[in-house]
């Protein structure tokens, strides 16, 4: 009977040790995540195999698993940058990015889990300053936002190439100019719009005048040609045709009382 307690203690200790080992060996990776395996006794970070995927995994208790989010993520950044003439511009942008899942081990080994602050954020700031510095405040305010957006994306992508970060999109959400500059630009744009509107009215009036001149000239030419073509004989023939048509009318009483000018008969009657 005295042997049972002596045997029970090692069994209990062994069970506790096994439970601890299983707890330290079990790794659960949630959806949208992946795990980088670190083996201290076998070369360190595993880079020649795919990272651990979602689900439950058992690893050796002396190994470690570093978990990364591999879904698309958003970085929102507000930056103060300078325009081409040295004015302070506030640029608000969003960056869509994600780590390259297949190269997660290399990312962890060469850069680390803080790759956002070490690589991506400084690169975005540098690219934004470089791009915005090429444009005037007027261009930034009016028509160049899409161009700025595309250029920041291209420059950032070029810099982070081979850094195991996938850049999906750069969106410029807002460009804020100093209040005095903004007001001056708005006044200038309004004046330009009014000038364009005035020029349009002038062009429209000029075209209308030209149309009226052409129309009057056409009528004048038509009357001149008609006058030249109407001689005495044509007028007499037209009068005879009209007289015959009137004489044939069933609703008219016709009385010939003599001859009119140029030998044409005079016809009197009523309906």
Q: How many CB atoms lie within 10 A of CB 182?
A: 13
Burial class, 55, CB count within 10 angstroms (exposed 0-12 / middle 13-18 / buried 19+): exposed
**Tokens 């009215």 label which residue?**
201
| pLDDT reported for residue 4 | 47
| pLDDT reported for residue 208 | 79
pLDDT reading at 7 higher than 70: no
Are 141 and 135 spatial neighbours (Cβ–Cβ below 8 Å)? no
pTM comes to 0.61
Q: In this predicted model, what pLDDT tens digit does every residue of 152-172 receive, in sequence order?
A: 999 999 999 999 999 999 999
Most confident among 65-74, 206-215, 262-271 (mean pLDDT): 65-74
Q: Which helix (H) or strand (E) holds 96?
A: strand 88-99
| Superfamily name with CATH number, domain 73-177 | Band 7 domain (3.30.479.30)
Residue extents of the structural domains in the chain: 3-69, 73-177, 186-229, 235-268
Q: What is the mean pLDDT of the chain?
A: 79
């Amino acid at each position: 009977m005295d042997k049972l307690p002596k045997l029970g203690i090692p069994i209990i200790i062994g069970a506790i040790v096994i439970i601890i080992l299983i707890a330290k060996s079990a790794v659960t990776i949630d959806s949208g995540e992946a795990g980088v395996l670190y083996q201290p006794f076998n070369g360190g970070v595993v880079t020649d195999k795919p990272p651990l995927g979602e689900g439950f995994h058992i690893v050796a208790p002396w190994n470690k698993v570093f978990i990364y989010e591999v879904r698309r993520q958003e970085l929102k950044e507000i930056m103060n940058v300078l325009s081409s003439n040295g004015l302070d511009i506030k640029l608000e942008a969003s960056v869509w990015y994600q780590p390259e899942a297949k190269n997660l081990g290399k990312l962890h080994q060469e850069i680390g889990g803080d790759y956002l602050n070490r690589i991506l954020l400084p690169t975005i700031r540098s690219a934004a300053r470089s791009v915005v510095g090429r444009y005037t405040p007027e261009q930034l305010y009016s028509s160049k936002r899409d161009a700025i957006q595309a250029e920041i994306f291209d420059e950032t992508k070029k810099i982070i190439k081979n850094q195991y970060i996938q850049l999906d999109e750069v969106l410029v959400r807002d460009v804020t100019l100093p209040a005095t500059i903004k007001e001056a630009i708005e006044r200038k744009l309004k004046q330009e719009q009014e000038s364009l509107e005035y020029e349009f009215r002038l062009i429209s009036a000029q075209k209308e005048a030209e149309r009226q001149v052409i129309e009057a000239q056409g009528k004048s030419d038509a009357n001149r040609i008609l006058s030249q073509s109407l001689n005495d004989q044509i007028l007499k023939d037209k009068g005879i045709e009209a007289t015959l048509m009137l004489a044939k009318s069933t609703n008219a009483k016709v009385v010939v009382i003599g001859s009119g000018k140029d030998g044409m008969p005079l016809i009197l009657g009523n309906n």
